Every structure is written in C-alpha cells, then in structure tokens.
Amino acid sequence: MHPPTVTEPTHDEAHGGALGERLNWLRAAVLGANDGIVSTAGLVVGVAGATDDRSALLTAGLAGLLAGSMSMAAGEYVSVSTQRDSEMAALALEKRELREQPDAELEELTDLLEERGLSRDVAREAAVQLTERDALRAHARVELGIDPDELTNPWHAAWASFLAFTAGALLPLLAMVLPPEDWRLPVTVGSVLVALACTGWSSARLGAAKPGRAVVRNVGGGAVAMGVTYAAGSLLGAAGV
Ligand SMILES: [Zn+2]
C-alpha cells in the first residue's frame, strides 16, 4: 500500500495549501509506520508459532523489516517520479502555450479567475498583473493546481516511506526478541495492539475523520493478521516443516 503523498489541489489558499501538504506527509508517515507494524508483527508472530529460536525470530523480523521498507521506498519512488514527470510535462506544455499564444492564455487565466468569483474586470486586471509577474507560476497554480517551485522530490518521498516503515517495524521486532521467552508473545501482541490504536487514531484525526471506528478497524486488522500467521506458523511447526 502506498500512502498518498500527492498534494491534492482541492483548496489553494496560500497558507491552507502548505498546511494541507504537511498534514498529507504526516498522515503518509503514520500509515507507513502502520504498515511496518502490521506486516512485521504478522511475520514474527507467525515464526514464533513455529519456533522458540531467538535467532530465527531475529533473522525473520529483520529480513521482513528490510524487505518491507525497501519495497515501500521503491514503490513510493516510482509513484512520485511518475507524478513528477506528468507535472513537468504539464508545465512544459503550459510554457509553450504561453510563448505561442499569450493572448489566449491571458483570456484563459481571466476566465479561471472569474470562475472563482471575481468580476470580469477584476479578473482581467488580476490576470494581467499575475502574467506580468510570473505567467508560468500563475498558470501552474490556478490552472494545474501545482506549485512549480514545490514539486515533490521522489527521493524525499522514498526516504520518508523507508523511515516510517522501519520505525513501525522495529516495535514488533524488538518486542519479540528482547523479552524472555515466555513473555515474547504477550509483549508483542499487547504492544502491537496499543500501537495500532495510536496509529489508527492519529491517521483518522489527521484525515479529519472520527477516530473511534478507525481505531477499532485498525486494531482488529492487526489482531486478525497476527492470529492468522500464528495459526499458520503453529501448523507448520507442529508438522515439523
Ligand atoms: Zn494556461
């Protein structure tokens, strides 16, 4: 699963846009950590169903952490790169249109501003001023909903995903390998469920949704994941595989 890192051009109040973008990033980080918690918890709990061997648990957990975080990073890199490519292409097209048909572009900008509630005369005046100052930027923001100075960097997005997933994955990994043998499962299951309640609550709040149901769904999903992998691990262990 890849969290939405794309800036949604739904509202572009000068400050609301930047805040919205920051919240999107924060929410993506919480969801990335959530992925790390669930997948690594499922993995180590499953292996714990089959074996008591601490080094096997550590190896499996660490491999899961690395595989998951790199997969998240690569997926994020690809998706943000594609997004960026299409934004650059749109900007290049806009640049050409501005060069080849400046009058039609001025008309277009005027129309767009008028649609947003300005009177014809004011829209015209605003379009002229915006065009004089920085025509491409004005068209990028009003027409395309993107800020040419703040295109998402694919490497930043990839790193953010990698770190978020890793931070989440460390919890079940450490909870499984640090405590004494009898405490492994209860500590892991307990701390994972608490952590999932926190990430479910935060992501709902950041998305301006009611947290109650999100917490129940998130904790329930994690509990099912651990239950299924534990059952599978136990069956394999009992079968001597
Ligand atoms: Zn245009």
CA 226, CA 196: separation in Å to the nearest integer? 12
Cα-to-centroid distance, 10 and ligand 1 (Å): 18
Position 231 in a domain: yes
Assign 70 to helix, strand or coil.
helix
Cα-to-centroid distance, 50 and ligand 1 (Å): 62
Domain that holds residue 106: 14-238
Cα-to-centroid distance, 132 and ligand 1 (Å): 14
Give buried/exposed letters for 36-75 (b at 16+ CB in 10 A, else e): bbbbbbbbbbbbbbbeeeeeebbebbbebbeebbebbbee
Cα-to-centroid distance, 24 and ligand 1 (Å): 27
Position 156 in a domain: yes
CA 156, CA 35: separation in Å to the nearest integer? 19
Position 217 in a domain: yes
Q: Indicate the number of domains in the chain.
A: 1
Cα-to-centroid distance, 4 and ligand 1 (Å): 26
Cα-to-centroid distance, 6 and ligand 1 (Å): 21
How confident is residue 23, by pLDDT bands cut at 50, 70 and 90?
A: confident
Surrounding residues of ion ligand 1, Cβ less than 5 A? 105, 139, 143
| Between residues 241 and 51, the one the model is more confident about | 51
How confident is residue 16, by pLDDT bands cut at 50, 70 and 90?
A: low
Joined tokens for residue 103? 């009058």
**pLDDT tens digits, 199-240:** 999 999 988 888 999 999 999 999 999 999 999 999 998 887
Position 1 in a domain: no
How confident is residue 241, by pLDDT bands cut at 50, 70 and 90?
A: low
Position 134 in a domain: yes
For every residue of 2-55, DSSP letters joined together read ----SPPTT---HHHHHHHHHHHHHHHHHHHHHHHHHHHHHHHHHHHHH---HH
Residue type at position 156: H
Axis crossing angle, helix 102-115 with helix 54-100, rounded to the nearest 10: 120
Average pLDDT of 86-103?
95
How confident is residue 148, by pLDDT bands cut at 50, 70 and 90?
A: confident
